Structures are given as C-alpha cells and as structure tokens.
Structure 1
C-alpha cells in the first residue's frame, strides 16, 4: 500500500472528495429527523478508511466536509421550525464537523504509530465525550445524539440503560472505526479483532437478557389524547369550549374502556386567572366522577408572568398538582413563558406517576431524577412540529430505556406514544394526520431503576478521560520520534 506521501495531489483530492461525498450521502439519510438506522453505522466509514492513506489536510478536510453535507438535512428545520438565530445555528451545526475532525485526527495519529486498538477506541471515545459535553453546554440537552437513530433497534438501544445514550453513540461510531483499523496497512489485527468481537458479544448478551419477558406487575390502563395542530385555545372561546367538550367525551369513552389515567397534550389551553376555572372545574369533576387521573397541558398566565404547565387532576377528588416546564425552546418559548423550578411533581396520591413536559424529556438528568424519586411512569404533555414527530418521540422512548421508565407522551402535531422501559412502543398514533386520535394501552408500575439511573454519566466521563489519555500517548510518541530522529542526525529538535 502506498503511503500518503507517494500520492499525487490530484489523486489525494479525488480520494478525499469521494470519501467526503459518500460519508455525506450516508449521513444525510442515516441521521436527521427520519434516520435509516442501518446507514448510521456506515457514516464515518469512508473517511476513517481513507484517513491513513491521505495527508493530514486531506483527511481532516474530508471528515469535516462529510458531516457538513450530512447535517444539511437539518438546516431548514433548525432555521424555520425552531427559529434558531444564525449564530446559534452555525455553532450547533458546526460542532459535529469539528468532532469528526478531532476524532479522525486522533484515529489517524494512533494508527500511524502502530496502535490500532488505541485508534479504534479513540475515535468513538472522542464522539461520545463530545456529545455529552455538547449536551451540557447548550440549551437543547441531548437532542443531537446519534443514539436516537437506533431507537427502532431495541437490542442496540438497551445499552443506554447502562451507559446512557453515550454508549450507544460509542458503539455506532466504534464499529466503523474498528473496521477501518482492521483494514489499515501493516497493523497487527488479531488483538483488535478479538477485542471488538468480545465487546459485541457482551452487548448482544446483555440485550438478550434485558429483552427477556419481565415478571408481571401492577398494570394500569392509560389513554393518550391528541390535540389541535396549531394554536393555544382560550377556554372562553367557541373553539376552546368545543375542544374541552371533545376531551370530556373522549376521556369518558376511554374510562369505559378501562382507562384510569388520561394525558392531554401540551399548551392546549391558554388561560388567565379568570379563565382557568373554565378548564379546571370540568376536568376536576370528570376525574372524580369517572375515577380517572387527568393530566392537561396549558399556558397559565398571572399578570405579566406565564408558565407552561402540566396539571394533574386526581381521581380521588383532591387538590390538583401543577408542574411547570423547566426547559424551554430558546426564542419560541422564552419570549412568552418562564421556566419552572422547584421540586418534581407526581400525580397526587401516587408517586409512581410523574409529571414532565415535552422538551424536558430531552434532558437525561431530569428523567433520572424522576425515576430515582419513585416515578416509574412519566406522563408527558408535548407539542411537536409536524415532521419531527418521530424523532422527538423516540428521544422520549430512549429516555425510558436509560432510566427504566414507561413514557406516556401526548405529542400534538406529532406522535402519541406509550413505550416501555426496553424501548418497545406498545401504542402509537400519528396526531399530525389525526389530531383527534386517542390511544389506550396498559403500563406497568413495577419496574426497577437502571444502572444509568443510579450511576449517571459515568461512561461519558470515562470516554473523556480515555480520549485525553490517548491524545497524550499520541503526542508523547510524536515527541519521542522527533528526539530519536534528531539524535540520529546529530541536531536538536525544534520545540
């Protein structure tokens, strides 16, 4: 195999452009709002295969270009639906190309020093650590993780119950890195092949164990209701009264079908101190009369302040409990409502049912906190943006796998979903096409917290430490080679 120095510039350019283009096409379809899960595993492969055979500028340029092309599937979504300011848009979409450059650089350096195992570990360690650092540095939580592309592949996503989404990302980008290291010229392959096989066998064995049928526990029937595609209706308007009447009929029918919990979407009513009783009083009476816990999403205004809330009306007839959404969409919500603070909230009289709202499910720590406070089922009013319904609902599904929770999510203008702690979607409806849809399903309250729920982001920090150690090893090896070369020619290396 020819070394990078033996290649002409035209040949290097052709290989780099081909690798970037193929990676970009795979990433365009393997990531984004509707990813093809199998393609996600292939996205880094063309670049990491080519990197050892290219000079540094070509290799790193191909890595960055590939991810710029891949993420072009999100440009209009971030700019239009989420209304991200241009500076924030560039920063968010620029992160993954930079991450690709960093991972490729360390992979190439270690592979060039004859350390294929270290190279195969370094690439996914950089990615997993980078995703975690991004999740705590920007206001969208773990929104951009590659792990969600695997939400439909339940054996793969079980790893999140141990490592969080960071372990799933590590696996998805680690497999192509291992393949590229095995294919690199003049490297020892046996140890790497055995190590990769052991990791995959362990992941597969754990997935088989976790997907085994769970013991039967307490079962509760829940109903999830859709809502209007757009608008937050005033309760004293004709449209608001009609919507409340529809919800009353639907909850009654669900109760006849055995439902004991009903969840309505986010912000279906826009209320003030004067109009809130028009919503609260009928729902409180209905909850008490039909023995159904009812959770409704609304905007509640008090003077100049407003909150995006989930309010639970208990079947026992006691006082309702209010949870205020903590994580708001910058721009779209922060100009209108204030974030919530204070303690977590559960349905009155039953701490197994926790309250959460939409974007809060993008933050693993908040779901972990709920699980560790005893909430085995999260009731989530939500509001999606049409074409992101699948992806946003699967983020919630993945949160349930991480912490061992059932997720009951009423996503208006998106998906209505009920999912179990292994990521199985037991009931689903498209509320974009059918705004008046209702799904009814059984959930179990007898589930246990996961290792991730108890230990948190240990794996992300382990990846960060591993990346730093491997970077130091690569730099030390380079410095030693410079000194050895200098001693051979009788000079002192420049610092």
Structure 2
C-alpha cells in the first residue's frame, strides 16, 4: 500500500485550486497510491481569513465536497480531503473540516480542527478564531485495512490529541496519522519536521503530512515539506517547496517490528 501527501500552493480562486488538486490526485493514483491526502485549505487561500465564509458549504453537499467524493471514486482510492469550510450552527464562523472519502465515493469520516492557530511575532499576525469555530472531538477512521487518525496543522502541537484518537475509543493505536497543514514559513522552518517525527516516534505509526508549500498570491508564504514518515521517525519521502507528491510504501511488518522491539505503547501508565 502506498501513502501519498499532495503538496499545493493554493490561490484565492477555488476553481483553479480544484483543477490543481484533481491533477495531483490523478498523478498519485497513477503512482499506485491507495491513500492520498490534500493539504489544509487546499480549496482556498484567500485574501482575508473571512473569505472562508464566502465559500462555506452545508455539511454533506457542495461543489468542494462533491469534487472530493467524485475524485475518490474515479481513482478508486481513499482520499483525505485536506480541509474545507463547512458552515457552523451560528452562521458567523465556519468549521475547518477534514472529510475522508472511500473508493466508493462515500464520506467515511469528518473531523473538525480542534485547536485554532494564533501567532504574533510583531511582523506576522494570525488568529484563526476570527473566522473558525473549533471542533469538539478526536476522530479516527477505518480506511480499508488502515486505522487513520485525523488531525489538522496546529493540532500537531498537542500530543494528547493523538493519544486520545488511538486509545479512548478502545480500538487501539492508529496505523497512520494524517496531518494536512498550512504551516507558516516561520513556524514551519522551526518546528514542522521536529513535531512530525516526534508524533511518528511516540505513536509508533506512519505519519502522512500534506502541506501548502510556497509563495501564495495573497502574500502569505507557507513552509511546505510534505512528508511520509515511518514509525521509527525516518522520513521516507519529502517535497520541499512547490506543487508535488511525497509518496512511500506503508509497510505493516516495519510497524510491527518497531512496536515489538520497543513496546512503548504497551508500557503506558497514563
């Protein structure tokens, strides 16, 4: 089985972004991917945070959700649809929703980003809470033979989320952790690889991290470095900047070997 992280440099134009996503999904399928992920905000990197409200969809249907469902079915793969804005109950903000579609085109899971990013170093300022409403619970989905834990970008800084998605529902540890993201260049350069490899090592699973990566039309620069990482923390594939695909084999024997040789998950006390 192959895992593919699709890296984009999304624009303020939804149509152009869907075209780019379609091209990458097709390329990943041609390379044999069985599970592919788009990055956070794959459908829109707007001029303003509140641009998300303009394209927000009702839960279950809309041009972006229909695109994802059709792409998964057309190429016969599991597709983690990065994130898209889904209307919240109050109508004033949106949920940053990660929707997963099976090879039959049916939605298998929806996870709403729990942790909302805020950053201010005097030069750059971000506050996702202006337009986003946080989610409420961790989500893991059975994608064929793989148990996949869902997270988004800033969630990466909260290790308790990954423990919860693996153990709170009694289903056991995840095989893959997915982290679609749009890390800023500043924070990504400092922490992206460090955090991803840490999550892989402490959860002894594969990490599939699809990122935005480059200079965007809205002036923002994202870090990129989409990766597939194995349970020992080894980077198997990476795309540093620009559009591209990081793809690598999921090896269950490798994961089992790591967990047997260093049975840290069985040694948990909390």
How far the C-alpha of 1:256 sits from its partner, in A, is 1.2
Name the SS of the counterpart of 2:130 in structure 1: coil
Indicate which of 100, 109, 120 corresponds to 1:321. 109
Unaligned runs of 5+ in 2: 44-51, 119-125, 213-221
Conserved? CA contact 2:6–2:245, under 8 Å: yes
Q: Does residue 1:263 correspond to 2:47, yes or no?
A: no
Cα gap change, 1:451/1:360 in structure 2, threshold over 3 Å: closer, same or farther? farther
Per-residue displacement from partner, 1:413-468 (whole Å, max 9, x unpaired)?
A: 2210111111100001113xx1x12222112245355654445577xxxxxxxxxx
Question: If each structure's strand is expressed as a fraction of its own residues, which one has the higher value?
Answer: 2
Residue 110 (structure 2) pairs with residue 291 (structure 1): no
Single out whichever of 239-248 and 436-445 deviates more from structure 2: 436-445
The one-character-per-residue Cα deviations of 1:378-414 (angstroms, maximum 9, x if unpaired) are 1211111113324223211111101101101012122
Secondary structure of the corresponding residue to residue 427 of structure 1: strand
Alignment of 1:415-430 (within 5 A): 415-430=225-240
Q: How far did 1:350 drift?
A: 4.6
Correspondence for 1:440: 247
- Larger displacement relative to structure 2 (448-457 or 297-306): 448-457
Structure 1 residues 347, 278: CA separation in 2 closer, same or farther (over 3 Å shift)?
farther
Which residue is equivalent to 1:225? 6
Distance 1:379 1:445 in 2: 17
- Structure with a larger share of its residues in helix: 1
Q: Distance in 2 between matches of 1:444 and 1:364?
A: 24
2:63 and 2:153 map into 1 onto residues whose CA distance is 24
Could you say which structure has the greater relative contact order, defined with CA pairs below 8 angstroms and 6 or more residues apart? 2
Give the one of 20, 28, 37 matched to 1:254.
28
Match of 2:196, SS state, is: helix
Distance of aligned partners of 1:426 and 1:257 in 2 relative to their CA distance in 1, 3 Å threshold: same
Alignment of 1:399 with 2:180, yes or no, is: no
- The structure-2 alpha-carbon separation of the partners of 1:402 and 1:277, relative to structure 1 and needing over 3 Å to count, comes to same
Counterparts in 2 of 1:411 and 1:273: CA distance versus 1, 3 Å: closer
Note if contact 1:362-1:396 (Cα within 8 Å) is conserved in structure 2.
Answer: no
* Cα displacement string for residues 253-309 of structure 1 (whole angstroms, at most 9, x for unaligned residues): 211111111111112234323696211112212211211111122222242231112
Q: 1:442 to 1:348 in 2, by over 3 A?
A: closer
Alpha carbons of structure 1 residues 343 and 382: separation in structure 2 relative to 1, 3 Å: closer
Q: Which residue of 1 aligns with 2:218?
A: none
What CA distance in whole angstroms lies between the structure 1 residues aligned with 2:228 and 2:94?
29
Structure 1, unmatched stretches of 5+, are: 1-219, 234-238, 459-495
CA contact (8 A) 1:417 1:427 kept: yes
Which residue in the other structure is 1:243 paired with? Answer: 17
CA distance in 1, matches of 2:180, 2:69: 18
Q: In structure 2, what is the equivalent of residue 105 of structure 1? A: none
TM-score (norm 1): 0.43
Q: Does 1:340 align with 2:135?
A: yes
1:76-115 paired onto structure 2 within 5 Å: none
Q: Distance in 2 between matches of 1:272 and 1:298?
A: 8
Q: Secondary structure at the match of 2:111?
A: strand
Measure the CA separation in 2 of the matches of 1:444 and 1:340: 32
